[in-house]
Amino acid sequence: MSIWNDSNPNETIPTIEPRWTPIATQSPLPPPPPAPPTPPASSGAQGSGAERPRRRGLGVVALALVSAVSALGGAAIGVLATREGDDMVTSGTVVTAPETEGENVNEASTAIGKIALAVAPSVVTLTANTESQFGEGESVGTGVIINSNGEILTNAHVVEGADTVQVRLMNETEPRRGTVLAADPQNDLALVKINATGLTAAVFADSKKVRLGDPVVAIGYALNLDGGPSVTSGIVSALGRTITTESGALDRLIQTDAAISSGNSGGPLVNDKAQVIGINTAVARSDMGTAANNIGFAISTEEVLRVITTLRDQANGVERKQGFLGVGLTDRSDGGQGAVIANVENDSPASKAGVKEGDVILAINGVPITGRTGMIALVRDAQPGDTIKIKLERGGKTINVSATLVERDTSND
């Protein structure tokens, strides 16, 4: 049984299956050598997990974060929505693609085509020049314009190691210089800024209205193909998924069977109203005979909107404090759901709340804990000073306790 305790953040986490890896297009770098993963610093509640998504598929079931090179073509069709303001992310507004007539190649006769054309002005290509121990390389992915003054959201793994990126907008042949304002690798999101005004911002859906089985469309620059973005369709296959990476856990993910490929990283997953319901981040790959078909993941707008706020704070010099609970975690071995407390640090928030070794954590703040990765992510996303409500099982009885998080000491990281 392997345990990760937040008092030792530099401890190596053993890899378990399934293993999730990114598939960002990179050139000319060779594949990086295997390296021990780095656990998320802000959790305060950790367990062993799979490696951080990488840019090349590894393992039995590899989850690929999706990035690639391509161009966006087609006519600019404005999104018909009321924007809230340049410093805000538009959310909850129904978007209707304009009706089209005739055989114009830039028009669409199907519902999916109209959705794609309505969202297209808000989708961009990003190219990042990165550096590593092998030298210089290039990573390319997709981004989403989130306000008219040039803020763009993408995946952190697309711009990893880069201070500036090249951004190409719809109907433009020349890229614009973009600055990476802030990045959150643990949540795999980054904020990029270009010098522009009057851009068409994407509209974000209310995450509470996303339902299992809803139709969705994924848009992005798959496989660095020439021409415009790839558009694929599917449904919401599952909600509230959590996966483990070598930087931590991605939680509250939307699972979809819409085809997502290398190059889709940072692109939008949209509903039938042309609203963004998630940011595409990863897919499952099949290796060594293990079945993994049509399993893709997008970071839900619930997480996206929260992280955008922290990214803007980070860009303005506000340091992100990391919460600390003071426990070690492991998964249940009896097939049940929940995270098992492997140890509790003395005088920690957990010990003061009465959490004991062997307790099974069932929920935090009303959110069910399906495994240790879910608990890792929930505690990580909380702030020092936050009081979290913990539902646990002990000796066959359900107990509710509260713990006030403190700031984790990162001086030894």
Percentage, residues of the chain above pLDDT 70: 68
Q: Tell me the domains of the chain and their CATH numbers.
A: 17-44+53-320 (2.40.10.120), 323-407 (2.30.42.10)
| Annotated catalytic residue within 6, 184, 188, 381 | 188
| 255-266 per-position pLDDT tens digit | 999 988 877 889
Q: Give the pLDDT score at 284.
A: 80
Q: Taking 70 as the threshold, does the pLDDT of residue 3 lie above it?
A: no
Q: Are 154 and 143 in contact, with CB atoms under 8 Å apart?
A: yes
Active site includes 265? yes
Q: Which of 121, 23, 40, 49 is nearest to 379 (CA)?
A: 40
Q: Give the pLDDT score at 194.
A: 96
pLDDT band at 94 (very low <50, low <70, confident <90, very high): very low
Q: Which of 83, 156, 89 is nearest to 305 (CA)?
A: 89
pLDDT band at 304 (very low <50, low <70, confident <90, very high): very high
Active site includes 157? yes
| Annotated catalytic residue within 265, 300, 348, 359 | 265
Q: Give the pLDDT score at 233.
A: 93
- Across residues 33-51, what is the average pLDDT? 39
Q: Taking 60 as the threshold, does the pLDDT of residue 34 lie above it?
A: no
Q: Give the pLDDT score at 392.
A: 94
Q: Give the pLDDT score at 341.
A: 95
Q: Give the pLDDT score at 289.
A: 57
Active site includes 188? yes
pTM: 0.72
Q: Which of 45, 36, 114, 29 is nearest to 342 (CA)?
A: 45
Count other C-beta atoms under 10 Å from residue 300's C-beta. Answer: 23
DSSP lists the bridge partners of residue 397 as 394
Q: Taking 80 as the threshold, does the pLDDT of residue 181 lie above it?
A: yes
| 216-236 per-position pLDDT tens digit | 999 988 776 776 778 999 999
Q: How many CA atoms lie within 13 A of 15 on its CB side?
A: 18
| Annotated catalytic residue within 43, 122, 157, 247 | 157
Pick from 36-45, 167-176, 210-219, 302-311: least confident: 36-45
Most confident of 76-90, 234-248, 272-286, 372-386: 272-286
Q: How far apart are CA 405 and CA 5, in angstroms?
A: 15
DSSP string for 31-94: PPPP------TT-SEE---PPPP-SS--SSEEEEPEE------S-----B-----TTS--BS--
- Across residues 274-286, what is the average pLDDT? 88
The CA–CA distances, whole Å, from 84 to 87, 93, 147, 194, 396 equal 8, 10, 9, 20, 50
| 320-365 per-position pLDDT tens digit | 777 889 999 998 888 888 999 999 999 999 999 999 999 999 999 9
